Structure 1
Amino acid sequence: MQLSEDQVRQFEEQGYVFLPSQFTEAEVAAMKADIPRIFAMDRQEVWREKDGKSVRTAFAAHTYSEPFHRLAHHPRMIEPVKQLLGGDVYVHQFKINGKEAFEGDVWQWHQDYGTWKRDDDMPEPRAMNISVFLDEVTEFNGALMIIPGSHKAGVLEAGHDLETTSYPLWTLDKETVARLADEGGIVAPKGPAGSMLMFHGNIVHASPPNISPWRRMITYISLCHCDNHIRQFKRPEWIAHRDFTPIECMADDCLLDLSRQPAE
C-alpha cells in the first residue's frame, strides 16, 4: 500500500493522515479476540489506571500476542510509513490503550518525539505513530485530539508529569498549547473500528477522560527509521525496544489466518 500524493502532502503540511476503515471488521475481530487474555495478565507490560484494575496500556503486546504480532508486520501499516520515512523501519514502541468506559483517564498534551528524544536519545524525529481503532471512536468516548501543523514547531519545552495519571509523561504547558491551538485549531479524527491514523512524532496531541459508557480502545505502534534508532537505554526494553531489525511485512491477509500458536 502506498499513500497518494495528496495524502503525502497532507502529512507534510498538517502532520497527520486519517484512513477510515483501513482494516475490515473480520480483521479487527481477530485482534480483539485476544484482548481479554492480554488485559487479564499480571505482568509488568500491562499498566493499569490509578484504580489498579482498568488497563491503561498494554505495552509490547506484539511480543506475546499472535494477532498483534501480525499487525506489527502488516503491509497496510508498514509500507506507508516506509514511504514517509524513506526506508526500513523497526518497532520502537507498541501499546494497546484501553480507555475503559467511565474509567479511562486523561492523556495530557504532549509530543511523542519529545519523550523519545529526552528518555531514549533518538537522534531525529524520523519516527511516527500509527494508530488502529479497535473500537468505534466518537466525540463521546475520549477521541484523540491533535493540533494540525504543530509538528512544524519542533521539540517544545516540556515538564515531566509524575502525578496526574498512573503513567509519567513529558507534558506541555497551557500557554504553549493555547498558542498552537489558536494557530492550527484542534481536530479529533473519529471513525469505525479498523480506521487508521498516522501522525508525525512532533505533533501535539492529547485525549480527555472517557466518562461515557463506551470503551475506546486503540493500538498505537511507534515506528522509527532503522538508521535513527535510540542510543540510550534507561527505560525498560518493553517500553522502548532495542531490536532494530527492519520489519519484514507479512501477507496482506495475515490477520485472517491465525493458525499458528500465539507468540510467547
Structure 2
Amino acid sequence: MTALVGRGDLTRLSNVTDRYPTRVSQVPAFIDRAEPTVWGDRAGAGMFGAQELDAHARDGFVQVPGLLSAEEVAEYSAELDRLASDPQVRADERCIIEKSSEEVRSIFEVHRISDAIGRLVRDERVLSRARQILGSDVYVHQSRINYKPGFGGGGFYWHSDFETWHAEDGMPGPRAVSCSISLTDNHAFNGCLMIMPGSHRTFVSCVGETPEDYHLESLKEQKIGTPDTDSISKLAQRHGIAMMTGDAGGATFFDSNCMHGSGDNITPFPRSNIFLVFNSVENTCVQPFSAPRPRPAHIGSRDFTPVR
C-alpha cells in the first residue's frame, strides 16, 4: 500500500512508504524535501509574526531573544544544577554521562522528571510557536537538558535530527520542530549551536546499518547516522554556517531536518540549554525505518497525547 503524504495528513501505518531511505546503502544521497517547513497559517493565532515564520521557512530556524526573563533563567539554572547533582537522577538510564569524564552530558525526558520543565513545555511562549510552525496540535517527542561545562564539555557532530528520528524512532516525515532555550550566554567560542541555513530542504541519506541498542553508544558519541564529509562539505558550501549566539534566556526554534552541530567547549564558560522537541499529532511515529526496534520511550516518545 502506498502512503500519500499530504499537507494535513501523514498516513500513520506500519507499511508507510519510506520517502527518506537512509542507512540502507553504502552510497550517500541527497533527497529533496517535499513537505513544507511552516505548516500553519501565517495569519493564525500565535506569538510568531509572519516575518518570523517566513524566516523559519527560508532558513529552517528562527531565534527568539529574551524568551525567558533573567529571574526565570536563574530558576531554571538552579533546577539544572539540582538535577545534575541528584544521585537518583545520575543513576537513572535517562541520564547520560560524558565518555571522557564523570560530568553529566544530557538528561532525557526531563519534562517528566522536573515539574518546572514540565510547566515550560505547556508555556504559551513555547507551545503556541510550535503549533504555529507545525499547523496542528503537538506532542513532546523528546525533551532533554544538555550540559556543556567549561574545560571539556563535549560537542555534537554534524547531523540532522530527523535522520535519527526517522531511522530509529519511526517518524514518517520532517514535521517536527526543536526549541533550544539557552540558560547561559552563547558565544562563538564556547560550543554554540551551529546551523546551515536552508539545509532543512535537503535530506542527507547516511551510510551504514544501525546496530542493536545503538542508542547506548550514540547518545555519548554518534557515528552511524552522521553524514559523510563530502556531503557535509557540499551543504556547507551551498548554505554556509550560522552560529546561534546570544544572551541567556534566548531560544532557537529549528526544523527537524536542519544540518547542525556544535564543537567542544574548551573555554571556562559553560553552556547549557533546555531542549524540547515537538512533533505534529499528524506525524506520529510508526515502526523504525532503519533500526531493529524503536529506541526507549524516554528518547523517542510513543505517547502521542497532545500538549494542552
Instruction: Identify the residue that residue 127 of structure 2 maps to in structure 1.
Output: 78
Matching of residue 175 in structure 1 with residue 224 in structure 2: no
Instruction: Identify the residue that residue 84 of structure 2 maps to in structure 1.
Output: 39
Q: Which of structures 1 and 2 has the bigger CA Rg? A: 2
Instruction: Identify the residue that residue 116 of structure 1 maps to in structure 2.
Output: 165
The structural deviation recorded for 1:164 is 8.5
Matching of residue 203 in structure 1 with residue 248 in structure 2: no
SS at match of 1:114: helix
Q: 1:164 to 1:224 in 2, by over 3 A?
A: closer
Q: 1:108 to 1:158 in 2, by over 3 A?
A: farther
CA deviation string 1:206-237 (max 9, x = no partner): 00000000110011111000121111362111
Matching of residue 234 in structure 1 with residue 294 in structure 2: yes
Q: 1:33 to 1:9 in 2, by over 3 A?
A: same
Pick aligned residue for 1:69 from 118, 132, 143: 118
Q: 1:120 to 1:57 in 2, by over 3 A?
A: same
Q: Distance in 2 between matches of 1:26 and 1:165?
A: 31
* Identical columns (%): 34
The structural deviation recorded for 1:173 is 1.1
SS at match of 2:205: coil
Q: Distance in 2 between matches of 1:14 and 1:31?
A: 29
**What TM-score do the two structures reach when normalised by structure 1?**
0.89
Contact preservation (8 Å) 1:126, 1:228: yes
SS at match of 1:228: coil
Q: Distance in 2 between matches of 1:218 and 1:158?
A: 30
Q: Distance in 1 between matches of 2:218 and 2:108?
A: 20
The structural deviation recorded for 1:28 is 1.4
The structural deviation recorded for 1:194 is 0.6
Matching of residue 50 in structure 1 with residue 95 in structure 2: no
Contact preservation (8 Å) 1:49, 1:165: no
Contact preservation (8 Å) 1:17, 1:198: yes
Pick aligned residue for 2:68 from 17, 20, 23: 23
Instruction: Identify the residue that residue 48 of structure 2 maps to in structure 1.
Output: 3
The structural deviation recorded for 1:167 is 3.7
Q: How many residues are aligned here?
A: 248
Structure 1: any 5+ residue segments left out of the alignment?
Answer: 249-264
Computed over aligned residues only, the root mean square deviation of the Cα atoms, in angstroms, reads 1.8
The structural deviation recorded for 1:165 is 7.5
Q: 1:21 to 1:158 in 2, by over 3 A?
A: farther
Q: Distance in 2 between matches of 1:149 and 1:186?
A: 10
Instruction: Identify the residue that residue 253 of structure 1 maps to in structure 2.
Output: none
Q: Please identify, of 26-35 and 145-154, the stretch whose mean Cα deviation from structure 2 is larger.
A: 26-35
SS at match of 1:34: helix
CA deviation string 1:172-218 (max 9, x = no partner): 11111111111111001111111010111110000000000011001
The structural deviation recorded for 1:52 is 4.3
Instruction: Identify the residue that residue 252 of structure 1 maps to in structure 2.
Output: none
Q: 1:53 to 1:156 in 2, by over 3 A?
A: same
Structure 2: any 5+ residue segments left out of the alignment?
Answer: 1-45, 288-292
